[in-house]
Protein backbone atom coordinates (compact mmCIF):
# COMPACT_ATOMS: atom_id res chain seq x y z
CA UNK A 1 0.00 0.00 0.00
CA UNK A 2 0.96 3.64 -0.41
CA UNK A 3 0.05 6.49 1.94
CA UNK A 4 0.82 10.13 1.19
CA UNK A 5 0.55 12.97 3.69
CA UNK A 6 2.02 16.43 4.15
CA UNK A 7 3.33 17.75 7.45
CA UNK A 8 3.84 21.41 8.39
CA UNK A 9 6.79 23.10 10.06
CA UNK A 10 6.97 26.67 11.33
CA UNK A 11 10.52 28.06 11.39
CA UNK A 12 11.70 30.90 13.61
CA UNK A 13 15.02 31.99 12.11
CA UNK A 14 16.75 32.26 8.73
CA UNK A 15 18.57 28.97 9.16
CA UNK A 16 17.61 26.20 11.51
CA UNK A 17 16.64 22.57 11.53
CA UNK A 18 13.53 21.07 13.03
CA UNK A 19 13.31 17.47 14.22
CA UNK A 20 10.28 16.05 12.38
CA UNK A 21 10.85 12.40 13.32
CA UNK A 22 7.76 12.09 15.52
CA UNK A 23 5.52 13.64 12.83
CA UNK A 24 6.94 11.28 10.21
CA UNK A 25 6.45 8.30 12.56
CA UNK A 26 2.87 9.50 13.02
CA UNK A 27 2.24 9.13 9.29
CA UNK A 28 3.77 5.64 9.37
CA UNK A 29 1.53 4.77 12.36
CA UNK A 30 -1.62 5.92 10.59
CA UNK A 31 -0.65 4.04 7.41
CA UNK A 32 -0.65 0.70 9.20
CA UNK A 33 2.47 -0.30 7.25
CA UNK A 34 4.62 -2.75 9.23
CA UNK A 35 7.39 -3.32 6.69
CA UNK A 36 8.44 -0.97 3.92
CA UNK A 37 10.06 2.38 3.25
CA UNK A 38 9.26 5.99 4.05
CA UNK A 39 10.29 8.87 1.77
CA UNK A 40 10.38 12.35 3.28
CA UNK A 41 10.71 15.32 0.90
CA UNK A 42 10.90 19.08 1.23
CA UNK A 43 8.32 20.90 -0.91
CA UNK A 44 10.45 24.06 -1.14
CA UNK A 45 13.46 25.21 -3.14
CA UNK A 46 15.19 26.73 -0.10
CA UNK A 47 14.65 23.96 2.46
CA UNK A 48 16.06 20.46 2.64
CA UNK A 49 15.68 17.16 4.48
CA UNK A 50 18.49 15.30 6.21
CA UNK A 51 19.15 12.72 8.90
CA UNK A 52 21.60 13.65 11.63
CA UNK A 53 22.40 13.61 15.35
CA UNK A 54 19.71 14.45 17.88
CA UNK A 55 21.78 14.33 21.07
CA UNK A 56 24.14 17.30 21.01
CA UNK A 57 22.56 20.60 19.83
CA UNK A 58 26.04 21.79 18.83
CA UNK A 59 25.92 19.38 15.86
CA UNK A 60 23.12 21.50 14.36
CA UNK A 61 24.92 24.70 15.23
CA UNK A 62 28.11 23.44 13.53
CA UNK A 63 26.13 22.20 10.52
CA UNK A 64 24.80 25.69 9.79
CA UNK A 65 28.03 27.41 10.81
CA UNK A 66 29.97 25.46 8.18
CA UNK A 67 27.29 25.64 5.48
CA UNK A 68 27.17 29.42 5.92
CA UNK A 69 30.95 29.53 5.40
CA UNK A 70 30.80 27.32 2.31
CA UNK A 71 27.93 29.31 0.76
CA UNK A 72 27.82 32.92 1.95
CA UNK A 73 25.34 35.61 0.88
CA UNK A 74 27.54 36.66 -2.00
CA UNK A 75 26.59 40.10 -3.36
CA UNK A 76 27.55 38.93 -6.86
CA UNK A 77 24.63 36.48 -6.99
CA UNK A 78 22.13 37.59 -9.66
CA UNK A 79 18.89 35.92 -8.48
CA UNK A 80 16.52 38.82 -7.72
CA UNK A 81 15.06 37.33 -4.55
CA UNK A 82 18.42 37.68 -2.79
CA UNK A 83 18.35 34.13 -1.45
CA UNK A 84 20.66 32.29 -3.85
CA UNK A 85 22.67 31.00 -0.91
CA UNK A 86 19.49 29.33 0.40
CA UNK A 87 18.78 27.65 -2.95
CA UNK A 88 22.38 26.37 -3.16
CA UNK A 89 22.42 25.05 0.43
CA UNK A 90 19.12 23.22 -0.13
CA UNK A 91 20.50 21.46 -3.20
CA UNK A 92 23.77 20.60 -1.44
CA UNK A 93 21.93 18.97 1.47
CA UNK A 94 19.24 17.40 -0.71
CA UNK A 95 15.47 17.49 -0.89
CA UNK A 96 14.58 14.05 0.41
CA UNK A 97 15.57 11.13 2.63
CA UNK A 98 14.48 7.51 2.69
CA UNK A 99 14.05 5.58 5.94
CA UNK A 100 13.30 1.85 6.16
CA UNK A 101 10.28 0.72 8.20
CA UNK A 102 10.36 -2.47 10.27
CA UNK A 103 7.70 -3.60 12.77
CA UNK A 104 5.85 -0.35 12.06
CA UNK A 105 8.77 1.82 13.20
CA UNK A 106 11.20 4.02 11.30
CA UNK A 107 14.59 2.29 11.34
CA UNK A 108 16.91 4.96 12.73
CA UNK A 109 20.02 4.70 14.85
CA UNK A 110 19.92 5.69 18.51
CA UNK A 111 21.21 9.20 17.81
CA UNK A 112 19.50 9.75 14.46
CA UNK A 113 16.55 12.02 13.73
CA UNK A 114 14.94 13.27 10.54
CA UNK A 115 15.41 17.01 10.16
CA UNK A 116 13.66 19.66 8.09
CA UNK A 117 16.42 22.15 7.22
CA UNK A 118 15.38 25.77 6.79
CA UNK A 119 17.70 27.97 4.75
CA UNK A 120 15.45 30.98 4.11
CA UNK A 121 13.30 31.50 7.18
CA UNK A 122 11.58 32.43 9.24
CA UNK A 123 8.54 31.00 7.51
CA UNK A 124 5.16 30.38 9.07
CA UNK A 125 4.19 27.45 6.89
CA UNK A 126 6.72 25.01 5.44
CA UNK A 127 5.62 21.67 4.04
CA UNK A 128 7.22 18.27 3.80
CA UNK A 129 5.69 15.31 2.03
CA UNK A 130 5.75 11.88 3.62
CA UNK A 131 5.20 8.85 1.37
CA UNK A 132 4.92 5.47 3.03
CA UNK A 133 5.22 2.35 0.86
CA UNK A 134 4.92 -1.15 2.20
CA UNK A 135 2.64 -3.78 3.64
ZN1 LIG B 1 14.80 32.54 -4.54
Instruction: Please report, for the chain, the start and end positions of each structural domain, with discontinuous segments joined by +.
Output: 2-134
Query: Tens digits of per-residue pLDDT, 91-127?
Result: 999 999 999 999 999 999 999 999 999 999 999 999 9
Ligand 1: centre distance to CA 29 (Å): 35
Query: Tens digits of per-residue pLDDT, 46-97?
Result: 999 999 999 999 999 999 999 999 999 988 999 999 999 999 999 999 999 9
Ligand 1: centre distance to CA 54 (Å): 29
Q: At what angle do helices 57-70 and 84-93 cross, to 10 degrees?
A: 120
CATH top-level class for 2-134?
mainly beta
Ligand 1: centre distance to CA 86 (Å): 8
pTM to 2 decimals? Answer: 0.96
Amino acid sequence: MVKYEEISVMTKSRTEWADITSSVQGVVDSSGVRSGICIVSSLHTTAAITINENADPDVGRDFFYKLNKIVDRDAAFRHGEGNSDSHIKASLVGFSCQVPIQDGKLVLGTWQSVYFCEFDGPRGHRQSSVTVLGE
